[in-house]
Amino acid sequence: MKDKKIGGLAEVVAGQSAISTVGQEGIGLTYRGYAIEDLASQCSFEEVAYLLIHGHLPTIRELTEFKLRLIVLRELPVVLKKVLEDIPANANFMDVLRTGCSMLGTLEPETKEYGQIKIAERLLACLPTILLYWYHFHKTGKRIEPMVRADSIAAYFLQLLYEKPAESIYVNCINTSLILYAEHEFNASTFAARVTASTLSDFYSAIVSAIGTLKGSLHGGANEFAMRLIKKFDTPMAAKEGVRQMLAKKELIMGFGHRVYRLSDPRSIIIKQWSEKLADYTHDKSLFSISLAVEEIMWEEKKLFPNLDFYSASVYHFCHIPTEMFTPLFVMARVAGWSAHIIEQRANNKLIRPTSEYIGPTPKEFVAIEQRQ
């Protein structure tokens, strides 16, 4: 690790990876060498997940077999369903995923025979089931049937949520969103997963570490905050004035700027196009116009550009996804990237143990308890 004293380890190189590039001049965002623009426009999320986990884009046969495996792996153990039923109805949605993943790890522990690739595929397949089984049990009073034959994770998630097949435009939109959220180099949650993996802990523990890290509002959750912000305003003019007032009070506006990108987030350009497309499709131009107004003021006042989270908020809203599910949907995508990083960390492992700069008191003489004032 380079010897740099920068807050939050910004610009500090903490390791090597062959999985993705983020913010490199002249390269942009790539997954294993493939530009995000090409992946988002030409691939299914399953192709991208396969690329990340297995290291190469699948052939037609490999993709077909992969999708069939994922369909079979959607079912949950009876014991896990009971645990989900016992989780309170008012629980944080991220806590449900964290607990579900942890419980699955006790029921189907990692072994030499049941290794990391199988667990990665298992989690990719069943995380939507975990969340939506709990959601429907407590919110609609139903025990949903997870063995829906939808051939993509996007279609499967939406069909479980809606309790009927989703329109293709929504499926295609969520498919793109999953691709955009699938991987992003050494972000906080991925780094947490690699730290856990570096101790030689099990695969599930590394994923639980990542979920817990993503739950933090400075990493995940920005799309949820962005949605709450946008819904505050009735018109673009009200949005401009409201955001100006928030900035004057030094309030944090989520969904703008990025620790790595300097000029723009390439993912935001793609998801913004989907937000506009869905605004036209749903005949709801207000939300998109308000989003544009917020973006305009943030650039005028702070020279901050929208990141992926900002327009993802309106996209998910247009797709009729509850706001509390925005960050869990992030998890369902990023588990592919987390898995790739855990596998990579294990392949050439060294314990991740940085040092700190001590700023405490100078050495002191010990005082016996009877003599302390």
Separation of alpha carbons 24 and 46, rounded Å: 26
308 neighbors 272 (Cβ within 8 angstroms): no
Whether 56 sits among the annotated catalytic residues: the reply is no
- Spell out the residues 6+ positions from residue 75 whose beta carbon is closer than 8 angstroms to its own: 126, 129, 146, 147
Q: Which of 258, 265, 317, 341 is catalytic?
A: 258
Q: Which of 136, 151, 219, 284 is catalytic?
A: 219
Torsion of CA 200, 51, 168, 133, to 10 degrees: -20
Separation of alpha carbons 145 and 134, rounded Å: 12
Residue 107 vs residues 261, 269, 323, 336: alpha-carbon distances, Å: 41, 42, 30, 21
Triad 185, 186, 188: Cα angle to 5°: 125
Whether 309 sits among the annotated catalytic residues: the reply is yes
The amino acid occupying position 345 is Q
- Spell out the residues 6+ positions from residue 163 whose beta carbon is closer than 8 angstroms to its own: 136, 142, 144
- Spell out the residues 6+ positions from residue 324 whose beta carbon is closer than 8 angstroms to its own: 92, 93, 224
Q: Which of 265, 309, 317, 341 is catalytic?
A: 309
**In this structure, are strands 20-24 and 34-35 parallel, antiparallel, or unpaired?**
unpaired
Annotated active-site positions, please? 219, 258, 309
